Every structure is written in structure tokens, then in C-alpha cells.
Amino acid sequence: MKSVINALKSRETLLALAIFLLVLLVSSRYPAFSSVESLSGIFNDTSILMILTLGQMLVILTKCIDLSVAANLALTGMVVAMINNIAPGIPVIVLLLFAILLGALLGAINGYLVWKLDIPPIVVTLGTMTIFRGLIFVISDGKWINAHEMSASFTAFPRYEILGLPMLSWIAILVILLFIPLVNRTALGRAFFAVGCNPMAAVYTGINIGRTRFMTFVISGALAGLAGYLWVSRYAVAYVDIAGGFELDVVAACVIGGISIAGGVGSIGGAILGALFLGVIKNALPVVDISPFWQLAISGSAIILAVALNTLSAQQKGRVILKTAGQGA
Amino acid sequence: MSILKKTLVKRLLLTTAVSAALMMNAAQAENKRIALVVKGLGIGFFEAAVKGAEEAAKEIGDVEIIYTGPTDTTAEGQIEVINSLIAQKVDAIAISANDKDAVVPALKKAMKRGITVISWDSGVAIEGRQFHLNPSSNPLIGNMIIKLAADDLPEGGDVAILSAGATSTNQNTWIAEMNKVKDHYPNINIVSTVYGDDLSDKSYREAQGLMKSHPNLKAIISPTSVGIVAAAQAVTDAGKVGEINVTGLGLPSEMAGHIASGASKSFAIWNPIDLGYAATTIAYNLATGATAEAGGSIAMGRMGEVEVNDDLEGAMADPFIYNSSNIDDFKYIF
């Protein structure tokens, strides 16, 4: 047991070290990069990616994948922006809750199709990804919702600062804090690992695999909905293509964070570090003055390097998650 | 019985009235009938272009504008519209095409029947029209984007460019054209060109990066509608409104908020009203004797003259500048 924990620790330590080295490297070219202000800016910029990565982590843990997160984000964002445009009086907190609910509903569609119709998740979510994007076009008629069509409080919310950190960062922190007990302390949380690690054994312990997967899609969808509002208000614009291709960033963050695509292996810390690693690269590239073509090659190599480090550190493949048989049931 | 009779009589009367009206129309047919065929009905940009066309019609006098187009933006829909215009024997067709090749056969048929055909905004292949009117040209756009930055910086300073993709053809052409004329603006020091890939988040991050790595930055030029909005938001969030001016090419509806906040003092894009006006006057002139030949020019009323190049195309004018004085007139149009 101890060795397992150690392996885990080293996996995350290695990634944290890689991030630290990356920050040092960039700072050698651009010193202000490692200032507290700049680092908190990177955290803030990565908040949305972290939120989505946590949701995706649960889905991947159960051997599934959710490619519709970015489209879900864009659709929810557009709906919320349109509501705000028509009825600016509705308080932001109501819109925020609505976005989470709508996102969860969209996620539930994925979950239901995977659970009840037993369609492979990659097919389901590829389908809903296109459907959601199409729906945005249908409801918006291809038009943009622009900064001046949003209410002041709508765009101000994620920028509102508490103790020097913007609300956007606080929301990411809140999601992380909610995830820790969910994943580590609840039966459902342990079921995610059980389903991905050994589905057969999970069934024998009384876990409903379909329902567990359904739950991961609902949670991932709810977080995508939350991110939808945050995205639209942060960039003060909503249109069909927002966050285009962002689902790949989310999956990449998971992979970098050591979450096994085969399911059953992963941790909250890994997911957060994976997202932060990508966030640091994304924020570093604009300040180190290099050709855009090299930038693509560099970010690709950095991802492969991070994954290689992970694989090296994860010498022990497969581990027993359920400490006692009774816990998962 | 009597009811039936009444309706019959009514219907007869109505038919006579309609045919009488049609005949009267035919009698007045000295009017040149110019059809403005747009990509789709109900699009703000084209509604504005029609305003310009009506203005031209009023100015010329003997012109009747037929504003038409499909309800969806398809080439099939436009072909149907063109065929019905041929049947109506209009004098000229000015089209913004949904597909540059698909509409060619129908337009060829129109030209065979003696109808003047020009394209505007979105062009038709050369064999399907007599002339194509571009809203502007690459050199004019390249000059405009640096001029916009220079106009707000009388004392000069550092300026950076936020483009779309590093391989995006039109962006690169405009930037290359801008670089050709940058010596005319000696105070403007172009420090960097970055690429936001037309993604809001990447453009926003690149704009943040520009502000970090160039502390003396005075303006960001973004010749892309996604980039200019993202850069304006990034400047606002960094609290640098008034210090850094965001300019380039954008749409009034998308930029209205950032003009109001002061993050952008001005930006440019074509003026649809001028475009509709110019297309109409050119169509009228070609229908009444003028010819479009390479090296020549065609008059377009208050817009001056357009020069015809070897591909029988011409550029209307500099992009139109939008700022706080006129943004409200245009922000609901497109």
C-alpha cells in the first residue's frame, strides 16, 4: 500500500517539478514571468481548463471519454448570454445555477445514451458535440452576443476580486475542494475507480456500472455548463465557435496529469497539475518571442515529454483501489 | 348563387386591376430595372446595402431597384432567383454570390438575353459577369490598418499586430501590404506580430503577452474580427484603456461595446451603404452604354471612379472608419 502511495506521490511530484522547471526556463528569458502577479494570472487563466479537466477525469476513470465538453460549454454559454441579453435583470447567481443545470442536462443525455443504449462513449459524445454546436447556430442564427449586449454585472462577476484573487480562480478552487471529498470519501467516488479498474469485480461488489458512468457524464456536463458561463463572461463574447477544439486540451491535460485512458488510474492532484502544465505553456509562449510554428512544435513536445515522464514514474501498472470489499458497495 | 357571383366579379375586377398595374409598369418601362441579388434575405449587411442602392436610384432618377435573394444562403436559391429575373427581363443584375461558380450558367444565360451582370461583395467567376466590385483592395486595407494606429498616435510609439493564423492568406497579405507602406508612418514602430488563430482565448492570451513583453506598447492592430474583440477585452481587463488603443478590422455590432469603453478608438471595415450605392451606379452605367474593359474605369457617382484591372475587377474605396461618432448608426446593421 505504501509503495502505491509513493508511486503516486512521485508521479505528481515529477509533474510539479516539470512545471517548476518550465517556469524557471521561461523566467530566464522573461523575468517577470515568475512574479506572484503573473503566476496568479496563469492560475486564473487556467481555471476553466482545471474545472473541465476534473470533470473529464471522472469520465476517463470509468473507461469513457467526453468529447462534447467544449460544445456543451459553448451551447450553455450562448444560452446564458442570450438570456442575459433579453432579460438583463436576472441576477448572475441565478444564471450561474441555470448554466450548471443546463450543462448537467446535456451531460445526462450523453450519460443516458452510454448507459441505456450501450453506445461507445466516443461515438455518443462525438455525435452530441456536433449536435450541440449545431444547436448554438440554430438558436443564435449564427449571430454573436457582444460585450455591449451583456449586462455589466454579467461580465464583472468572474473579475470580482476577493483577497486579491478573481472570482474565476475562487470558483476553480471551490470545485477542487468539492472534488476532494467526492472522489476520496464517498461511495460514488470510489465506484469511479472500481468501474474503470476492474468492471467485473465492480459488478460483484454491487456497483451499477451504467449508473456510475451516467453520473460521471452528468458531473462533467454540469462543470462544462459552469465553465460555459465563465468563458462567455470572461471573454465578453458568445458565438458558435467559442472554445473550438478545447475538448482536446481537456483530454491532453488529463493525459499529462497521469490519468490513464484505459481507466481506473488518476488523481485530483494529477488532473490539476496536468491542466496547470498546459496553462503555463499557453501563457509562456506569447512572452517568449519565438515563431508560431516553433510554438506548436514546442507545446507538442512538452506534452509528449510530460507523458513520458509519467509513464516512467508509473512503474507499477494496475493497483488495488478498493481497500475493502465493503467500501464500494 | 349571388355570393358566388359576387366573388367571381370581385376576382375578375382584381385580376383586371393587377394586369392594368402590370401594363402601367410596362408603359413606364423606360425606367432601368436593376436587381440587387443578395446572399440571403434578412441579413443586416445587405439590408444596409439596399439603402445605398435606393440612394443611387433616387440620385440617378430613372432607376427601379428590385431587392431580392433566397431565404437561405444557397447557390441553388440564387439560381432560381436569377431565372425569375431573366423571365422578368430586368435590365441589370448585381449579385453577391453564394458560390462563385455555381451561379455562372444562369448568369451567362442572363447576359445572352442582354442583361447587364456584375458581382459585388462576394464575386462570381470571370465568365459569369462583366465586372466585379470589391469593397476594397489588399493595398488599401494594409494602408488603412496602420493609418488607424498612426492617426491616434501623433507622437508615435510601439505598435504590435495580433493576426489570426500564421498561415492565414488574407491576414498575411494585408500585413505584407502594411509593411510596404510603413515608411510613410515613421513614428510607428512595429515591435511584434503574434497569432491568435481566431480563437478568443488564444487571442486574449496573446494580447496579454504583448502587453507584458512590450511595456511601452501604444496600440494593437488586429485585422481579424475575433482578434480585435479579444484584444480590446484584454486591454480593458488589464486596466490599460486610454493607454493602449486597439484597432484594425472589425464589425460595428461586435465592437460597439469596446468603442463605448474607449478600449478601441476606431476601426475599419467596408461600408455596406456605399457598396450598395456603388454597385447600383456601376450596373446602371454598364446597362446604359459604359463598358468594363481592362485598364479602363467606370464612374460610380459620389464614390468617384473605379479602375478595372485585368480580371475585370475593381476596388471601391478605402475601408470605412468607424468610431464613437458613427458607431451607433451602424451597430444594429451588421
pLDDT tens by residue, B166-200: 888 888 889 999 999 999 999 999 999 999 988 89
A60's CB contacts (< 8 A; 6+ apart) are: A196, A251, A254, A259, A260, A261, A263, A266
Question: Which H or E run includes A94?
Answer: helix A92-116
Residues A264/A199, Cβ–Cβ less than 8 Å: no
Instruction: Show the cell assigned to A225.
Output: 455548463
ipTM above 0.85, yes or no: no
> Within 13 A of B103's CA, how many CA atoms are on the CB side?
37
CA distance B50 to chain A (A): 21
**Amino acid occupying residue B197:** D
Q: What is the DSSP letter of A164?
A: T
Disruptive mutation site among A235, A242, A290 for chain B (greatest number of B CBs within 10 Å): A235
Q: What is the pLDDT of residues B293-303, one digit of tens each?
A: 888 889 998 99
Q: Which residues from chain A sit within 8 angstroms of residue B192, using beta carbons?
A: 289
Q: Which residue has the higher pLDDT, B247 or B40?
A: B247
Q: What pLDDT does B24 receive? A: 47
* Percent of chain B whose predicted confidence (pLDDT) is above 90: 61
- When pLDDT is cut at 50, 70 and 90, the band that residue B1 belongs to is very low
The terminus-to-terminus CA distance of chain A in angstroms comes to: 21
- B133 beta partners: B120, B314
Q: Model-level pTM?
A: 0.79
CA distances from B150 to B94, B221, B248, B326 (A): 36, 10, 12, 20
- When pLDDT is cut at 50, 70 and 90, the band that residue B23 belongs to is very low
Measure CB to CB from residue B233 to each of A45, A235, A243 and give the nearest one: A235
Helix (H, G, I), strand (E, B) or coil at B111: helix
Candidates B226, B225, B228; CA nearest to B160 is: B228
What residue ranges of chain B are covered by domains with CATH 3.40.50.2300?
31-136+272-317, 138-269
Q: What pLDDT does A10 receive? A: 64
Q: Which residues from chain A sit within 8 angstroms of residue B229, using beta carbons?
A: 146-147, 236-237
Q: Which residues from chain B sit within 8 angstroms of residue A291, using beta carbons?
A: 166
Residues A275/A46, Cβ–Cβ less than 8 Å: yes
Q: What is the DSSP letter of B94?
A: E
CA distance B256 to chain A (A): 6
Q: What's the rounded Cα separation, in Å, for the pair B227 and A34?
A: 27
Q: What's the rounded Cα separation, in Å, for the pair A269 and A179?
A: 11
A59's CB contacts (< 8 A; 6+ apart) are: A65, A66, A121, A213, A216, A217, A220
Report the top-level CATH class of B31-136+272-317. Answer: alpha beta
Q: What pLDDT does B232 receive? A: 95
> Within 13 A of A76's CA, how many CA atoms are on the CB side?
33
Residues A49/A275, Cβ–Cβ less than 8 Å: yes
Q: What's the rounded Cα separation, in Å, for the pair A7 and A267?
A: 12
Disruptive mutation site among B233, B235, B254, B324 for chain A (greatest number of A CBs within 10 Å): B254
The terminus-to-terminus CA distance of chain B in angstroms comes to: 56
Instruction: Give burial (CB, 10 Å; 0-12/13-18/19+) of B295.
Output: exposed
Q: What's the rounded Cα separation, in Å, for the pair A73 and A57?
A: 17
Measure CB to CB from residue A292 to each of B195, B232, B258 and give the nearest one: B195
CA distance B43 to chain A (A): 10
> Within 13 A of B80's CA, how many CA atoms are on the CB side?
11
- B221 beta partners: B161, B247
Instruction: Show the cell assigned to A109.
Output: 443525455
Give the number of other CB atoms < 10 A from CB of residue B299.
14
CATH number of B138-269: 3.40.50.2300
Mean pLDDT of chain B: 87
Q: Which residues from chain B sit within 8 angstroms of residue A243, using beta carbons?
A: 200-201
Q: What pLDDT does B100 receive? A: 85
State the Rg of chain A over Cα.
20
* pLDDT reading at B142 higher than 90: yes
User: Under an 8 A CB cutoff, do B254 and A289 touch?
Assistant: no
* pLDDT reading at B9 higher than 70: no
Residues B245/B236, Cβ–Cβ less than 8 Å: no
Helices A187-197/A209-235 angle, 10° precision: 110
Q: What pLDDT does A187 receive? A: 93
Disruptive mutation site among A35, A148, A247 for chain B (greatest number of B CBs within 10 Å): A148
DSSP A282-328: HHHHHHS---HHHHHHHHHHHHHHHHHHHHHH--S-S----SSHHHH
Give the number of other CB atoms < 10 A from CB of residue A111.
28
CA distance A317 to chain B (A): 37
Candidates B166, B169, B162; CA nearest to B138 is: B169
A247 touches chain B (CB under 8 A): no
In chain A, which stretches have pLDDT less than 50? Answer: 327-329
CA distance A82 to chain B (A): 15
Going along chain A from its start, the domains and CATH numbers come out as 2-328 (1.10.3470)
Range with lowest mean pLDDT among A125-139, A258-272, B28-42, B56-70: B28-42
Q: What is the pLDDT of residues B263-318, one digit of tens each?
A: 999 999 988 899 999 999 999 999 998 888 888 889 998 998 899 988 899 989 89
> Within 13 A of B189's CA, how many CA atoms are on the CB side?
9
